Structure 1
């Protein structure tokens, strides 16, 4: 019951990390039917391409072995065993040379059937002994699972269809023998090879769509097994990016430190440049000690508003200069001097601010506006 409830809660698509970990453990969608289809196709290739020219060689090798069986003289002792071993080695070598192309083609078909599925991994976790593999409870669960039902239906259909094809080919072969005029026993091997070739071709044509459907089913079932619960997604997010609560707390501490720095730095500024509400840059310049104005604080949006409020509370002049404030916000970091290319404009604004403090009235520099409130 708990497992069924857990499955019902797996409503989230698997993440890339989840799929990557599954592949590392050897858990990939794989279809046996693809390998079976390729083996049957390989057998058809053997019957159509290899047996016609390897068959006589195989028959010759077996005939030579059988004909010479009565002529082999086996002595006593080690010499006799050595002679017997030499005879067997020569016989196996001749048979191996004849059968090697057959086995290589079948093996190549099986390997190709695995490779065409797209995902092939080798993982030690798949061969490690696990108690769940021998657990009766887990065995019963696998026995009555949806995958087992699909495999049973698939096997039943294969048995019925391939059995029907075998009966059809057998009836065709028997009917051909009865109707063929002057059929001789020497023609029987070639005729049986033709019948086997027809059966293998029909079975291959049937197994191709079965293999395709089986691949699609196993991919769907594998994807369904990798589904995640909301809690699993959250836990993975914590592992990969850190706990959101901790990240939020760190961000809050950074904002608090920034506010404390602004509260201490803005009252010491000589002028505040704004844009007019999105950006604010606090510049400080002391004649005789600073080579150029220095940025002591800067901020955007809410932080910019807080800078303006503190400046208004401490009678720090606020100058609206949209292009200059935006450029200084992007180019100058805190505790850095204003770049040389902006010295002239900033010097005019600083001079205007100093004149205000000396009660000298003159218009602000071009493009600049003196603000009377923080808003």
Structure 2
């Protein structure tokens, strides 16, 4: 058991294992990439809609700073005004919020697919276990994430400080400009600062994406024992499957043996192969194979044939070809029609002889089989 636990994961994951892994909520999508995409797209949207946002806020500020004693006395008007301006703010920032929602949803679907993980909603006492909670807090993964967060804060802070230090003189100029120009100028400085911060995060994102890919596929890999267990889980136990196949084969053989009395002729090798054929010229387009077998099964077919007085003829090459190139319940192959017709002609003469008597019909000899259907391989034992 310990050997299985310590076994290295060297096997490639199967499709079933990947699906099972995803159901647990494991994905290869980078959170750093998601964060940078949100920052980038939100900055672009804010820059694109800056004039509209500025205009809306100017309207709100002008209306809010104008004194009206009627509004103060009437609480209902105050609530209506508040709701009106709240609606204006939401409309102004709607493209911004919509962009953030789309950036959160679509990349995760693209990289990981739609996965509804309801296991996290399941009640589990281990989730409120303080010991396990402390273990998770001080786990290696959390420590790495903590240092990564500190590094990002320092990096972003350094970039922001560097850019604002360079633009320090422009920040002072904002005080001497008209309010509208000052707002747009300040907005431009902030957006440029955001762009530089995003560019600074790109190396971290690239490294995080590569690491996520590596760790995800490393987790996906399987041990040899896991592959064997999965095969048993998906395909079933090989021993049970073998017993089922044997049982099905036995049932099929019984059904085949029950159909032999309907046969018109049995063609043999004479011991190794036996093929039972049935032909009704009124409703069948060609002779049909209703039973076939080798070894013990072949002998059983012949015994049943003798019991029910079915004509038996020895034609080794024809028996081998019929066994090789025909299936039970199907018509015989077209190239063998001529050879089988000779046999059926003899069968018809035997039936007439049994009814009327006379000279015993001679069995056809040297029945020829087309060279491309001449099967000379060794038989496989049945039973």
TM more than 0.5: yes
Report 1:80-91 matches (<5 A).
80-91=74-85
Distance 2:259 2:96 in 1: 86
Higher-RCO chain (CA-CA 8 Å, sequence separation at least 6): 1
1:26-105 mapped onto 2 (5 Å cutoff): 26-68=25-67, 71-75=69-73, 80-105=74-99
Q: Is the 8 A contact 2:4 2:225 kept in 1?
A: no
- Residue correspondence of structure 1 range 145-294 to structure 2 within 5 A: 145-176=139-170, 184-186=176-178, 188-253=182-247, 272-273=267-268, 280-283=273-276
Q: Secondary structure at the match of 2:49?
A: helix
CA distance in 1, matches of 2:146, 2:91: 40
Return the alpha-carbon distance in structure 2 between the equivalents of residues 216 and 20 of structure 1: 22
Aligned to 1:110: 104
TM (norm. structure 1) is 0.69
Give the CA deviation at 1:305. 5.2
Distance 2:98 2:363 in 1: 100
Structure 1 gap segments, 5+ residues each: 286-290
Q: Counterpart of 1:326?
A: 321
TM-score normalised by the chain length of structure 2: 0.68
Specify whether residues 317 and 36 from structure 1 end up closer, same or farther in structure 2 by C-alpha distance, changes over 3 A only: same
Within the alignment, does 1:122 sit opposite 2:125 as a pair?
Answer: no
Residues 309 and 374 in structure 1, CA contact (< 8 A), matched pair in contact too = no
For structure 2, the residue ranges without an aligned partner over 5 or more in a row are: 279-283, 307-311, 352-359
Q: State the superposition RMSD in angstroms.
A: 5.0
Q: Does the 8 A contact of 2:256 with 2:291 survive in 1?
A: yes
- Quote how far apart the aligned CAs of 1:85 are: 1.9
Q: Matches of residues 8-19 of structure 1 in structure 2 within 5 Å?
A: 8=7, 10-19=9-18
Distance in 2, Cα, partners of 1:276 & 1:260: 20
Q: Deviations over 1:200-254 (max 9, x none)?
A: 1122223345334434433443444444444443343333332211112233455
CA contact (8 A) 1:48 1:197 kept: yes
Note closer, same or farther for the CA distance 1:9–1:139 as it changes in structure 2 (3 Å cut). farther
**Aligned match for 1:364, one of 357, 366, 375:** 366
Match of 2:127 among 129, 133, 150: 133
Q: Structure 1 residue 345 and structure 2 residue 342: aligned? A: yes
Q: Give the structure 1 partner of residue 309 of structure 2.
A: none
Instruction: Measure, in 1, the Cα distance between the counterparts of 2:270 and 2:200.
Output: 74
- CA gap 1:126/1:217 in 2 versus in 1, 3 angstroms: farther
Alignment: residue pair count: 352
CA contact (8 A) 2:349 2:361 kept: no
Change (3 A) 1:239 1:26: same
